[in-house]
Amino acid sequence: MERFNVAEQQTAPLLLTPGPLTTSRMVKETMLVDHGTWDDEYKAVTEDVRRDLLRVGQANPQDYTTVLMQGSGSFAVEATLQTAIPSDGTVLIAINGAYGQRMATMADRIGIRHLDVDFGELNQVTLQPVLTVLAEHPEVTHFAMVHSETTTGILNPLVPIIPELTARGIVTIVDAMSSFGGVPLEIDAVGMDYLISSANKCIQGVPGFAFVIAKRAVLAQTAGRARSLSLDLYDQWRCFENNAGKWRFTSPTHTVYAFHQALHELFVEGGVRARTNRYARNEVRLRKGMASLGFEPLIAEVAQSPIITSFKYPHADFDLTAFYHALKDEGFIIYPGKVSAAASFRIGNIGEVYDGDVDRLLDVVSRYVEQPAPVR
């Protein structure tokens, strides 16, 4: 059998998606070496990753810890819900998109009591409706929300919501899947109990594991609470703590090494704020350029995150499939829309994406728009 030749691969497209996303060449090359899960070097890399994630999130290691979890971000969300919330608990879930709704679906499947406060797909989560539900339902023990709702690109404010609920003794869970590493987050200052994200988002690693940054004192109270063996967040944490970085079950070794490299590249770039600035430049350049070509953004600029931007179809006859393939032929992959309120599509601004890439995309879109309409 001939050995696989990396040089013979086709040129990879630019993934303009909210993750997986386009990674650096060094992140890719890091995965060309195989590693054993019991190896001391690998366990040390795992511990480096756990510490560095606290640094990225500005979380005091005396108060917070990091738990890595095999699987996608949704695995870590489900692990958190079914470990954090006891059988007699009730979680209030703020929903303004598909990922808040996914948490409600998880709660249904697991058998967790939950109440939902629905803000609609085009509105930010705000404090007052949450407080209204809490006043009517004193049985609520936990609260969950999405920070960056990539259904549309809305960025939901964590302050004053999380500090207010924490002050009321409610355990808070934040899905920061698409914002962590791409939007500054001061975990100590905000004070959430659980923050969840994934390797293949703004840290710019590859799929394979997710992670939870949790308050040590809160997580320590959850022993024996999980409804699942594989998704037991507490047992996963104790295995890392008691065995110098050893995962409980087979771990994605290549992904962990790639993530370790991605974290290094984040720090070299200048940290989260520098990366936020790059993503924000991409988003502004994209939004203004697309608007000039007749594509109206779906949500208001004040609520727009730098992560992903949604655009309405420019006219009733717009053919997203044809548009998608025209862009793919030129080396760009975008996402279809995910909202029910309007026909739309999404373009991500994260990953190894820079000014010139956005300009090339806009040039392709411009040429597509200028094509004569097909004869019917």
Q: Tens digit of pLDDT for each residue in 123-148?
A: 999 999 999 999 999 999 999 999 99
pLDDT at 370: 86
pLDDT at 373: 60
The pLDDT of 20-43, averaged and rounded, is 95
Tokens for 131? Answer: 């407080």
The pLDDT of 258-272, averaged and rounded, is 98
Domains by residue range for the chain, with CATH: 25-267 (3.40.640.10), 272-369 (3.90.1150.10)
Q: Is the pLDDT of residue 273 over 60?
A: yes
> pTM of this prediction?
0.94
Dump pLDDT digits (tens) for 303-330.
999 999 999 999 999 999 999 999 999 9
The pLDDT of 41-52, averaged and rounded, is 98
In order of 53, 129, 158, 218, 219, the CA distances from 163 in angstroms are: 21, 16, 8, 16, 18
pLDDT at 10: 47
Give the model's confidence band at 339: pLDDT under 50 very low, under 70 low, under 90 confident, else very high: confident
Dump pLDDT digits (tens) for 62-110.
999 999 999 999 999 999 999 999 999 999 999 999 999 999 999 999 9
- Specify the DSSP class assigned to residue 62: T
> Residue 91 region, left (φ>0) first, then alpha (ψ -120 to 50), else beta?
beta
**DSSP string across 82-114:** HHHS-TT-EEEEEESSHHHHHHHHHHHHHT-EE
Query: What ranges in 111-160 are assigned the alpha helix state H?
Result: 127-136
